[in-house]
């Protein structure tokens, strides 16, 4: 490894074959269910406003107008897929690269493979059922577990994340001895997210993949608020053997509410001193024309591959991780 | 010393924390849910030896620590300081009792130790993995007894006490693993 060996792949030939088999299995699964594979742009004029997702951006010097244009590498094909849903009213999936401008690690590479799909007429529980079937198909899991976000906190930390005061959550945070470096204080959602990550995640999904659903409304992203309990959103995440594998929603259809959430994201960005992002008006226009009632999910395929074949680091399933790309 | 951003964190990086130089043992990037990103870092405080876990907001930066390891031969103690020498440059350096700590019992003249320097001053002294020391006191073993039946305590010339097999006697030189303080064998003479 002393000589320049960085031209060589970090994945074994077997890992490359494992990936090819997994892709074939995924495609077979959706062919059988009549979900259409689509291919939407990786390079887009629109991007996410989420304060904690940064997109790579580049300058396009050859646009029709003659003016330089900022284009973003997509962080998830969500907006493009929803535009297709609004146009053609058909269930779709995409298996492709996504990019996030953030650090690498055991489970992270800034360029990664995402499987994202949308099912018309499904709610998030129907979609969790379908994900369980997909996991059975590719990982041979015997089933899945489901727990609400609230139940998970009550079971493992004895605190109600929805109704407890922020002071009470701060007390639990201190009791867990999470030592945070940095001057600023951490907000309620930040504490809940770290508590979940450090104290709950290692304990769930160890035997069977575990869905956590009914997230606090403040962490709803692009999910509908629950019709019976607006304190929570119809959003779920999937955890298995220490990895977060998927994030899904019963999709928000209201254009007014979606615009408010984007604006709220940008206010949060300003408060954090981050650049404000342009709102994707084409996406909002598709909601305006009418997004069918649907549920959708994005799944990290590199992580699925790691768990499928017991690879311990994402580099083992990537031909060339970012340092060698 | 330069500052390091969390993006540059990796095992082996030396940083300052609470006024003490620390070594990063493990660094894991965590991005819980849809929230902000953090670096979950396991560090060893280099003076106290304590291992701690800390969480950094990704993008934070911290001061680097000017820490380096150097290989020096142990010369002697004057009762207050322990003197070491670089066998190539013959430069000498003195470590205090605090830096030597518990490892004083493994210091053998001319043995090459790893001295960790912070801003040029020794903060820890690590002996070689194996040292050879003479037994100054141990009970005579029972005749006919064989090795591997628990053994007996033996005091070595530096004051260290290790468990040795019953057949090993006062005056013999033995080889000891300094990492766990266990007897390895009689020294090869």
Give the closest of B32, B53, B57 to A197, CB-based. Answer: B32
Tell me the whole-structure pTM to 2 decimals: 0.82
Over residues A95-118, mean pLDDT: 94
Confidence of residue B7 (pLDDT cuts 50, 70, 90): confident
For residue A190, list chain B residues with Cβ-Cβ distance below 8 A.
35-36
- Nearest chain A residue to B16, by CA: A181
For residue B40, list chain A residues with Cβ-Cβ distance below 8 A.
198
Q: Does the beta carbon of B11 lie under 8 angstroms from any beta carbon of chain A?
A: no
Q: Does the beta carbon of B19 lie under 8 angstroms from any beta carbon of chain A?
A: no
Q: Does the beta carbon of B43 lie under 8 angstroms from any beta carbon of chain A?
A: no
Q: What three-state secondary structure class fits A32? A: helix
For residue A198, list chain B residues with Cβ-Cβ distance below 8 A.
40
Confidence of residue B35 (pLDDT cuts 50, 70, 90): confident
pLDDT at B144: 56
What element of type H or E holds A27?
helix A13-32
Over residues A104-112, mean pLDDT: 92
What proportion of chain A, given as a percentage, has pLDDT over 90?
86
Over residues B9-13, mean pLDDT: 90
Cβ–Cβ below 8 Å for B29 and A247: no
What element of type H or E holds A96?
strand A92-99
Residue A279's Cβ-count burial label (10 Å; 0-12, 13-18, 19+) is middle
Determine the Cα–Cα distance for residues B119 and A297; give it in Å rounded to an integer: 52
pLDDT at B147: 53
| pLDDT exceeds 90 at position B95 | yes
- DSSP states of A113-149: EEEEEEEET--HHHHHHHHHHHHHHHH-----EEEEH
pLDDT, tens digit (0-9, with 9 covering 90-100), for A17-42: 999 999 999 999 999 999 999 999 99
Over residues B88-94, mean pLDDT: 94
For residue A221, list chain B residues with Cβ-Cβ distance below 8 A.
34
pLDDT, tens digit (0-9, with 9 covering 90-100), for A141-155: 999 999 999 999 999
For residue B27, list chain A residues with Cβ-Cβ distance below 8 A.
105
Give the closest of A52, A103, A181 to B7, CB-based. Answer: A103
Q: Does the beta carbon of B54 lie under 8 angstroms from any beta carbon of chain A?
A: yes
Closest CA to A148 of A97, A227, A90, A211: A211
Best of B31, B39, B43, B63 to mutate (most A CBs within 10 Å, chain A)? B31
Tell me the Cα Rg of chain B. 22
Confidence of residue A1 (pLDDT cuts 50, 70, 90): very low
Mean pLDDT of chain A: 94
Give the closest of B17, B29, B33 to A193, CB-based. Answer: B33
Q: Does the beta carbon of B140 lie under 8 angstroms from any beta carbon of chain A?
A: no
For residue B53, list chain A residues with Cβ-Cβ distance below 8 A.
179
**Min Cα–Cα distance to chain A from B67, Å:** 21
* Domain ranges, ordered by start, for chain A: 13-144+208-324
Q: Where are the beta strands (DSSP E) in chain B?
A: 3-5, 14-17, 20-30, 38-45, 51-57, 61-63, 67-77, 81-85, 92-96, 112-118, 121-126, 130-138, 152-156, 161-164, 173-177, 182-186
Considering the domain delimited by A13-144+208-324, tell me its CATH architecture: 2-Layer Sandwich (3.30)
Closest CA to A172 of A191, A146, A189: A191
B167 vs A95: which has the higher pLDDT: A95
Q: Which stretch of A272-276, A287-291, B185-189 has the lowest confidence by average pLDDT?
A: B185-189
pLDDT, tens digit (0-9, with 9 covering 90-100), for A43-74: 999 999 998 899 999 999 988 888 899 999 99
C-alpha A153, offset from chain centre: 21
């Amino acid at each position: 490894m002393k000589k320049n060996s960085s031209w060589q792949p970090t994945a074994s030939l077997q890992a490359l074959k494992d990936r090819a088999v997994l892709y074939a299995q995924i495609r077979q699964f959706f062919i059988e269910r009549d979900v259409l594979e689509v291919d939407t742009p990786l390079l887009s004029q629109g991007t996410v406003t989420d304060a904690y997702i940064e997109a790579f951006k580049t300058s396009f010097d050859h646009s029709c107008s003659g003016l330089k244009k900022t284009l973003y590498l997509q962080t998830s094909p969500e907006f493009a897929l929803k535009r297709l849903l609004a146009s053609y009213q058909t269930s779709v999936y995409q298996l492709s690269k996504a990019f996030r401008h953030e650090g690498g690690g055991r489970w992270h590479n800034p360029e990664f493979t995402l499987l994202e799909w949308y099912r018309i007429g499904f709610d998030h529980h129907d979609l969790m059922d379908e994900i369980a079937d997909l996991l059975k198909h590719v990982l041979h899991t015997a089933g899945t577990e489901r727990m609400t976000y609230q139940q998970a906190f009550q079971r493992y930390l004895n605190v109600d994340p929805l109704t407890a005061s922020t002071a009470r959550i701060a007390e639990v945070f201190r009791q867990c001895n999470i030592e945070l470096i940095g001057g600023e204080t951490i907000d309620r959602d930040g504490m809940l997210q770290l508590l979940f990550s450090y104290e709950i995640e290692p304990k769930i999904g160890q035997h069977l993949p575990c869905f956590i659903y009914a997230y606090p409304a403040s962490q709803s992203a692009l999910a509908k608020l629950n019709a019976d309990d607006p304190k929570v959103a119809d959003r779920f995440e999937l955890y298995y053997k220490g990895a977060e594998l998927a994030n899904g929603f019963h999709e928000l259809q209201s254009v007014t509410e979606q615009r408010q959430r984007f604006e709220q994201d940008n206010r949060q960005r300003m408060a954090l001193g981050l650049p404000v992002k342009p709102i994707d008006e084409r996406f909002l226009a598709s909601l305006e024309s009418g997004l069918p009632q649907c549920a959708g999910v994005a799944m990290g395929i590199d992580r699925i591959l790691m768990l499928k074949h017991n690879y311990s680091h994402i580099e083992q399933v990537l031909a060339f991780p970012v340092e060698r790309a | 010393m330069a500052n390091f951003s969390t993006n540059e964190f990796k095992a082996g990086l030396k940083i300052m924390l609470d006024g003490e130089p620390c070594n990063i043992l493990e660094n894991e990037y965590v991005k819980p849910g849809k929230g902000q990103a953090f670096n979950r870092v396991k560090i060893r405080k280099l003076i106290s030896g304590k291992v701690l876990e800390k969480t950094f907001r990704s993008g934070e930066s911290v001061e680097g620590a000017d820490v380096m390891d150097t290989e020096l031969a142990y010369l002697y103690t004057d009762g207050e300081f322990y003197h070491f020498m670089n066998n190539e440059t013959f430069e000498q350096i003195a470590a205090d009792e605090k830096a030597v700590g518990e490892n004083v019992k493994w210091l053998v003249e001319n043995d090459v130790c790893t001295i960790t320097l912070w801003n040029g001053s020794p903060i820890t002294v690590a002996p070689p993995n194996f040292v050879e020391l003479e037994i100054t006191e141990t009970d005579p073993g029972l005749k006919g007894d064989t090795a591997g039946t628990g053994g007996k305590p033996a005091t070595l010339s530096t004051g260290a006490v290790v468990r040795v097999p019953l057949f090993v006697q006062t005056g013999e030189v033995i080889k000891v693993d300094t990492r766990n303080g266990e007897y390895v064998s009689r020294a090869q003479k």
